[in-house]
């Protein structure tokens, strides 16, 4: 299976999970009104700002700030809670040791199911001379928590 088919399969599985979960919450779905709809123009701006701040926190070596981008029940792969701080600390140290202290994120697509935002994007680790040293894809499910979009599920692809 090629990378495109794998990505499509992952997206379809996530969408299916959202729909299955929404079936369990019929009462919530019945009471939802257009006023609860997600404004995707505003959401895109907010997510892009969050992603930009995340990259800045990475550059500053602030693993606590990175962990604070996650919802209280958010995960980075299978890591959650206080483990996020040490996980990001290790990633920052490794990136600096490898001469790639900078990371950029590019949102390729953003869609929603009425409750969550799903972002697909690309990341690049960049050296001090602005050369891309490694790259990959990611998928982040964003959740609104205390009036802010927070990372609920963060997965490298």
Helices 83-97 & 40-59, crossing angle to 10 degrees? 60
Sorted by where each starts, the structural domains of the chain and their CATH numbers stand as 38-156 (3.10.450.50)
Please list the alpha-helical segments (H only) found in 25-156. Answer: 26-31, 40-59, 63-67, 83-97
Mean pLDDT of the chain: 84
Give the range among 19-23, 99-103, 147-151 with minimum mean pLDDT.
19-23
DSSP H helices in the chain: 3-24, 26-31, 40-59, 63-67, 83-97
Specify the pLDDT at position 47. 97
pTM of the model: 0.76
pLDDT digits (tens, 9 = 90+) for 95-130: 999 999 999 999 999 999 999 999 999 999 999 999
Contacts (Cβ under 8 Å, ≥6 apart) of 25:
none
pLDDT band at 31 (very low <50, low <70, confident <90, very high): very low
If DSSP codes are grouped into helix, strand and coil, which group holds residue 52? helix
């Amino acid at each position: 299976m090629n990378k495109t088919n794998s990505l499509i399969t992952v997206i379809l599985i996530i969408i299916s999970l959202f729909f299955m979960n929404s079936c369990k919450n019929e009462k919530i779905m019945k009471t939802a009104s257009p006023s609860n709809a997600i404004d995707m123009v505003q959401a895109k701006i907010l997510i892009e700002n969050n992603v930009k701040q995340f990259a800045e926190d990475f550059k500053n070596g602030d693993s606590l700030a990175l962990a604070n981008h996650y919802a209280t029940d958010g995960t980075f792969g299978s890591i959650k809670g206080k483990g996020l701080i040490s996980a990001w600390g290790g990633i920052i140290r490794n990136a600096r040791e490898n001469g790639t202290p900078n990371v950029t994120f590019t949102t390729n697509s953003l869609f929603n199911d009425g409750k969550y935002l799903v972002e697909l994007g690309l990341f690049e680790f960049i050296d001090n001379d602005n050369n891309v040293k490694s790259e990959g894809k990611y998928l982040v499910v964003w959740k609104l928590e205390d009036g802010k979009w927070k990372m609920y599920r963060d997965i490298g692809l």
